[in-house]
Amino acid sequence: MTLLPKLDARQRRDLYWLSGIALLVLFAGYGLRDPWPSDEPRFVLVARQMFDGGSWLFPHRGHELYPDKPPLYFWLLAGARSLLGSWRWSFLLPSLLSGLGVLALTYDLGRRLWNHRAGLLAAVAVLSALQFDYQFKRAQIDPTLVFTTTAALYGLLRHLLLGPDWRAYWLGCFFAGIGVILKGVGFLPLLVLLPYAAMRWQRWLGLAPLQLAPLQLTPLQPGVGGGSDRGRWALGALAFLLAIALWLVPMVVAALASGDPEHRAYLDNLLFKQTATRYAEAWQHNKPAWYFAGIIAGFWLPFSLAFAWLWRDWRDAWRARDARTWLPLAWALMVLAFFSASPGKRDMYILPMLPAVAWAAAPYLDALLQRRGFRFALLCFAMALSALLLVLGVLGLVAPLKAMVALAADRGLGGEVRWLWMMLAAVGATGLLAALWSRVAQAPRAVAVLLVALWCGYGFVAHPVLDPSSSASALMQRARALAGADTVIGLVGWKEQTLLQARGPTVEFGFRTTLPEQLRQGSAWLRADPVHRRLLLSQPQELAACFAGATARPLRVGTANRRDWYLVPLDALGAGCHADALEDDSP
């Protein structure tokens, strides 16, 4: 195990600055918005129903079971709600804490592998990546998965490169299991054992003096234990399975014991369709094999600029058989290959690679920052992004493009959209001034100023401006005001945000239920009680066949998430909307 020297005053000051900037960037906008699509309203809705109804093993979306994801993330959301007492103030807490945790682990392992400066720059590289800041300001599963993946890889690498450290190894395996019950791909950190075994066989430098298996591949160093380590290695598998069993065993027992066919279907869907089938035969987000190359080049900016120089350092490290550089990098390449092989791809899938790549870059970043060419590239990035933001902001204020006008209309924005354009212009001007003042010599500082201004503007300005439309809160408030306090609203073709933001009494007719079936149930529900006031809330194209021959017209509520919504009374439904006249066009 590596004994670390105590940090001196300057090093502690470095950490204070990094921690303060990270907290500012990730916290900016916290509590200023509600959940936004596509995933946030779904996850918060499921967590809220779990919190209110107490069905902790079998999550629900509306009245239907939600089998797409294991429930751990919903437990975290519900726990945050219990702690803070407000969904608005709690739903981003897991991502915020996960982001800070990833940065802390990135720094700590970088310091242990190399030194304080390397660890600090590795954490800065992660924080600087545009994708990291954007994703960790959202309430999706992936930010928390990145934390569990980083924690697992941290423990494994401490053992494999700096060990023996069996507790770190067992904790790493345990966190990999936690990652599995968070999202099925949480096992990926364990793949690091494959390049480790190959490196041991090839006698790479920098590996800890450990024994992989009963078969001795290389001569052990004096004083290193032999066969007694076999059980310790096996305990890693036990720790991994134990973490999974914390959820899987109670869920399977409850599903089989209940005799409920919905619980059995939930079990089959979650364990098979949402894991192996989703990976091998993805039914959405299909992208070409090279898709992630563009994500890394563009969304990992400005860190990705360093790759134009780092490849030479990594080449030399390969020739020198430097395991401290190549073990995390080899794992990152395996993860890239794993996700590239699946037809279904989303940009955040490869985000767990980022800390590993930062560890591989850590020993070279300090020297890289001294290179004029790299500093010039950083300055160009700062000036280009700043100029783009400034031009967009000024155009939005003075002569908005058609796309800008359409964006405001789709978002249901009025005069408040000017705050977005003012924010973009201010951020762009700030970045340009910082770049012109810093020049090439201080280009990293200009980039830091630009990125902090960008994420603060996004959080403190864009969040409150976009929230009423993006969260559908304004839509559902207006729907309730138009309907009346006691009117029951039936949701047809609803989205998770409409149910999450619903005010007053509502009913829904299933989320996975086909639209014709929802219309059948909705029209029958309206006719079942013509005395008391009932209304349907839907989009016009979904009820178009129902309006022919009606004696009234639906009432437009407004726009949210680029969709128009209408309240439909009973007398706005014509003969074409009788339950027996609707055809189910689903395959």
* Rounded CA separation 218/203 (Å): 8
pLDDT at 570: 82
Residues 317, 302: Cα–Cα separation, whole Å: 23
Interval 54-113: pLDDT, tens:
889 889 999 988 888 889 999 999 999 999 999 999 999 999 999 999 999 999 999 999
Q: 123 and 270 share a domain?
A: yes
Q: How confident is the model at residue 554 (pLDDT cuts 50, 70, 90)?
A: confident
| 140/256 same-domain check | yes
pLDDT at 541: 67
Selection from 530, 527, 522 nearest residue 567 by Cα: 522
The answer on 389 and 378 residing in a single domain is: yes
Q: What pLDDT is attached to residue 582?
A: 47
558 and 548 Cβ atoms separated by less than 8 Å: no
Question: Residues 315, 258: contact at Cβ < 8 Å?
Answer: no
Q: 500 and 448 in one domain?
A: no
pLDDT in tens, 30-43: 999 999 998 999 99
Rg of the chain (C-alpha set): 27
Least confident of 188-197, 218-227, 471-480: 218-227
Whose tokens are 């134990």? That residue is 242
Same domain membership, residue 482 and residue 397:
no
Residue after which a domain boundary falls, among 448, 470, 492: 470
pLDDT tens column, 321-336? 999 999 999 999 999 9
Q: Which of 260, 286, 312 is the last residue of a domain?
A: 286
Q: Is residue 450 part of a domain?
A: yes
pLDDT for 434-484, tens place per residue?
A: 999 999 999 999 999 999 999 999 999 999 999 998 999 999 999 999 999
Nearest Cα neighbor of 512 from 537, 494, 485, 527 is 494
Residue 105 tokens, joined:
């682990």
* Domains held by the chain: number: 3
What dihedral angle (degrees, nearest 10) is formed by the CA atoms of 439, 443, 448, 451? 80
Q: Which residue(s) pair with 537 in the sheet? A: 491, 567
**Is residue 180 assigned to a domain?**
yes
| CA nearest to 46, candidates 20, 70, 21 | 70
By DSSP bridging, strand 64-65 and strand 506-508 are unpaired
Are the CB atoms for 359 and 426 separated by under 8 Å? Answer: no
Do 268 and 181 share a domain, yes or no?
yes
How far CA 11 is from CA of 8, 48, 59, 361, 489, in Å, comes to 5, 43, 46, 20, 59
Start-to-end CA span in the chain (Å): 60
Residue 586 has pLDDT above 70, yes or no: no
Helices within 54-192 (DSSP H only): 72-84, 87-90, 93-113, 116-128, 130-135, 141-162, 166-182
Boundary (domain end) residue, out of 286, 304, 333: 286
446 in a domain, yes or no? yes
Residue 519 CB neighbour total at 10 angstroms: 26
DSSP string, 35-80: --TTTHHHHHHHHHHHHHH---SS-EETTEE--SS-SHHHHHHHHH
* Number of neighbours of residue 45 by Cβ within 10 angstroms: 26
Cα–Cα dist 52/54, whole Å: 6
- Given a contact cutoff of 8 angstroms between Cβ atoms, the answer to whether 174 and 242 are in contact is yes
Residues 444 and 546 in one domain: no
Q: What is the pLDDT of residue 580?
A: 47
Residue linked to tokens 């450990």: 210
- Among left, alpha and beta (phi > 0; psi -120 to 50; other), residue 165 is beta
The CA distance from 92 to 151, in Å, is: 20
| Together in a domain, 478 and 572 | yes
Residues 113 and 142 placed together within one structural domain of the fold: yes
Residue 381, φ and ψ in degrees, nearest 5: -60, -45
Which pLDDT band, with edges at 50, 70 and 90, does 257 fall under? confident
d(CA 15, CA 416): 38
Phi-psi region of 182 (alpha: psi -120 to 50; beta: other; left: phi over 0): alpha
What 3-state class would DSSP assign to 563?
strand
**CB atoms inside a 10 Å sphere around CB 580:** 7
For residue 337, being part of any structural domain is answered with: no
> Could you tell me if residue 437 is inside a domain?
yes
Report the predicted TM-score, pTM, of the whole model to 2 decimal places: 0.92
The answer to whether 552 and 526 are in contact (CB under 8 A) is no
Is 259 domain-assigned? Answer: yes
Continuous segment of H or E residues that includes residue 197: helix 193-201
Residue 561 lies in a domain: yes
Same domain? 439 vs 484: no
**What average pLDDT does the chain have?**
89
Q: Mean pLDDT across the stretch 420-447? A: 97
Give me the domain span that covers residue 258: 92-211+229-286
300: in domain: no
Q: Are residues 156 and 248 in the same domain?
A: yes
Confidence of residue 544 (pLDDT cuts 50, 70, 90): low
φ, ψ (nearest 5 deg) of residue 36: -110, 150
462 in the same domain as 485: no
